[in-house]
Structure 1
């Protein structure tokens, strides 16, 4: 882990990440500065977002959220008031009462989520909001279509595909630094990174025991079960806590997993991610109702933790909330065991 980066460190980090090409979401601009020191000094700003070059003429003023993950980043930077509409799943469990209230005041375009957790929305509905920036790229919405309507698109680096390196908390810090540059809030980004680093260090200091874990995504309605590998922020969370992800040698961020790989790995604990569209008890009953999973130590020991999806993926301040929840749960189990 590193401490909060200075402004120079942030800019060097972003420029260096540009060399990652298609896998990176990074920023570079002429005269990038501390937030609040001048509205246009860091613009136009050129970003490499997955396989696309994005040019922002100025800090966005009309943002449409097609993904719940950026909410706490935007809030931490003080720019959530620039969101004019949202779509997707925004469970109350992610936010405190004050933030939940502010989100509720933002018009909702669609809550249609399929069984694999993907938003269903038409591009025309998004364009009607006249955004200059769209965060998220669900099926049916394209960069080209949004650009023709005067909006650019950014998505979390975790969703770019083609990631090969093992995830780390540095990916979270880089994501926040990029948003700081996008919204001309560099100083606020540095402060947010510093606060999150302190929380990560505190969670890591708790006793968790020498354990192994598998992180799964359970599709609603008894659909496929997915597991998370090396490039996932799930691995970064477990690494920070000193817990081994049994699928950390798998190069895919997420992959479909049947019972056999789980039985072979036999993790001590299971962390089950979900979208909050069905009660957790019902979700776990569907997942663990398969008798083939009965031999798992985690099932026998009732060491199964359900967790809302954005508490682990993609990189946002919510994953530090998730890290603390996982750490507290593991620590309680360690003390009880």
Structure 2
């Protein structure tokens, strides 16, 4: 809340300074995740495959255009709870191709290429194209990333919020609400800058480090932790934290013995409503950290330097800014000198 209040004036000034933007001219052709996508006319309805895509659409005031949603990690942002309750959820996780097509959307808005892409588990772009439905995938899953290496892909360069801002701007253009997109991006950029400034004032000691724990297939198995290139890596980079995980995979598995030897200063754990794996439950995560013979000996556990973030805030999305704010504020409360 502090950071949001801090940036209110700046956001207002930025919004006033924005020039009037031109109406979208159709047909609109964009290069999206390496594919040419043509939008024939302003979409009247879309199905979203991925929570990040859904929440961007809601944030742009396009909830009335959303015919159905899918792939949820956690509850929708509270300000959209009432809106979301009135929109059909096709699936908590992966929807079927048939269920998406049955909604007769003018556009499918996608978060991950592994859902809709060359080897998409829902469908390929070509399959949707065959029934006359264009696909738009959020650039955050494609820019500087190789998605041919498995479900989560491999980052070839450090993720930046710029790819999220690009997705917001392009979706705003597609739906002919460009000014809403510019205002939303200005708001998020102001909050991002304020969080980074707050952390910079802490003057963290050299070697201050962190590990981001998303989940584990079983509690006694190696955890899925954040690699060097994704959204958590971006947060660590801009806040002055070292990532103890060296892999360029998006979410590699790393043994607790290896993590304990690195002895991260801070542990960031994901909280989610999804229950695909036992460690999706944050209480089970915390119990494991307190009782496991190896994990419990880490300084971060012994000194209660554990930060809980919404899982979706660890994936490329507009929630990265809220996560950045939460982490920056948590660091101010730790004795790291």
- In structure 2, the partner of 1:185 is 177
Out of 282, 291, 294, the residue aligned to residue 293 of structure 2 is 291
> In structure 2, the residue corresponding to 1:126 is in which secondary structure?
helix
How do residues 70-85 of structure 1 correspond to structure 2 at under 5 angstroms?
70-85=53-68
Residue 313 of structure 1 aligns with which residue? 315
Gap runs ≥5 in structure 1? 11-32, 112-118
- Report the Cα offset of residue 268 of structure 1: 0.4
Q: Which digits, 9 at most, give the CA deviation of each residue in 1:105-148, with x for residues without a partner? A: 1011112xxxxxxx232211111111121222532332222222
5 Å-filtered alignment, 1:125-164, equals 125-136=99-110, 138=115, 139-160=121-142, 161-162=145-146, 163-164=155-156
Q: Is the 8 A contact 2:266 2:305 kept in 1?
A: yes
Which secondary structure state, in structure 2, belongs to the residue aligned with residue 129 of structure 1?
Answer: coil
Distance 1:47-1:284 versus aligned 2 partners, 3 A rule? farther
Alpha-carbon distance in structure 1 between the residues aligned to 2:299 and 2:157 = 29
| 1:271 and 2:268 correspond | yes
Q: Would the aligned equivalents of 2:74 and 2:312 in 1 still touch at CA under 8 Å?
A: no
Aligned with 2:252: secondary structure? strand
Number of the residue aligned with 1:16: none
Q: Is the 8 A contact 2:160 2:234 kept in 1?
A: yes
Residues 291 and 153 (structure 1), Cα distance of their counterparts in 2 relative to 1, 3 Å cut: farther
Shift of 1:320: 0.7
Encode CA deviations 1:145-186: one digit per residue, 9 max, x unaligned: 222222222333343342411122322322222222222222
Structure 1 pair 153/289, CA: closer, same or farther in 2 (3 Å)? farther
Distance 1:289 1:56, change over 3 A: farther
| Corresponding residue of 1:69 | 52
Residues 320-329 or 135-144, more deviating? 135-144
Q: How many residues align?
A: 294
* CA shift digits 1:226-265 (9 cap, x unpaired): 2222320112222222222233x53333222222431232
Aligned to 1:229: 227
Residues 18-47 of structure 1 deviation map (CA, whole Å, 9 limit, x = unaligned) = xxxxxxxxxxxxxxx966x54xx4322222
Partner residue in 2 for 1:239: 237
> 3-state DSSP class of the match of 1:307?
strand
Structure 1 counterpart of 2:3: none
Task: Pick the aligned partner of 1:302 from 301, 304, 311.
Answer: 304
Does the residue aligned with 2:294 lie in a helix, a strand or coil? helix
Q: State which of 247, 257, 262 in structure 1 corresponds to 2:259.
A: 262
Match of 1:49 in 2: 32
Equivalent pair of 2:216/2:222 in contact (CA under 8 Å) = yes
Structure 2 SS opposite 1:230: coil
CA RMSD of aligned residues (A): 2.8
Residues 285-310 of structure 1: CA deviation (Å, up to 9, x unaligned): 34665422233221222222232222
Does the CA contact (< 8 Å) of 1:218 and 1:287 recur in 2? no
Whole-angstrom CA distance in 2 between matches of 1:86 and 1:107 = 7
TM normalised by structure 1 equals 0.77
Partner of 1:212: 209
8 Å CA contact retained: 2:45, 2:67: yes
